[in-house]
Amino acid sequence: MELIDGTQISAPIIAELKAEVAAQKGRKPCIALVRVGDDPASVSYVRKKEKTAAEIGIESRIILPPVDIRQADLERIIDDLNADHTVDGILVQSPMQKQIDELLIFRRIAPGKDVDGLGTMNLGKVAQDDDTGFVSCTPAGIMALLARSGVDLKGKHVVVIGRSLLVGKPVALLALQKRAGANGTVTVCHSGTANLPAITRQADVLIAAIGRPEFVTADMVKPGAVIIDVGINRIADASRKTGYRLVGDVAFETVSPIAGKITPVPGGVGPMTVAMLMSNTVKAQRLSGAA
């Protein structure tokens, strides 16, 4: 079994971006990170994005609207950021508060600043194999992990568990694309799928993005399969100082001896998601001609 180490694989990407930004003579790239509420995971994610941006030389603006902000007021914040020529990328951290319609917020972000790749235009470009847009960061990170681990999807059966806008749908589209490293045969499974283990056992590459702790068990995995675990779940653990530990959507201890390659949680997909967000931000400035 080979561990696909996202921290290690993301390091040269971060280094490349750092060199590109350092070589710029004008304004440095800028990303606006909007977080509504104090969800512990969201706080942690935004802090990590801010830290990585600083390491690369990207300016980050942290915007913390009140937790009870109305839809119209959050949309006005997005409109102001869209109009601000010193902001290259905009990310509104998900999940948002229950009074907010996330889809409308994703659509509100100008396509040229939609560095999270969740707006209609950028998702459409993925479906059209058009790389002039921005690919959603976690799916882009998954594809980069596979490519940099020597996994070519051509002729492989790729099974995705989960059909979310953030991961399942876009990663299925990326794996299908007619381009080097892709060309996979893709099956998307979800809560309505019958006899799920019979399908997952056919997977040469299994991508678990269902949001259920240790959902994928050894009996669901074909020996030698490549396992990409997107999940990050907190489960109670009295032996830990925090009172919890992080696990993925895959039962790592029992699945890893069967797998050919597998990502850990944490330290697998997560670091790549952040690296792809930074890459998209630098690309956004480059495409805008503002560098």
As annotated, the active-site residues are 49, 93, 116
d(CA 28, CA 116): 19
Residue 240: partners with Cβ closer than 8 Å, 6 or more residues away? none
Residue 87: partners with Cβ closer than 8 Å, 6 or more residues away? 30, 31, 32, 61, 81, 113
* DSSP percent split of the chain into helix, strand, coil, nearest 5: 40, 15, 45
**What burial letters (b/e) apply to 169-188, b meaning 16+ CB within 10 Å?**
bbbbbbbbbeeebbebebbb
Question: Are the C-beta atoms of 237 and 255 separated by less than 8 Å?
Answer: no
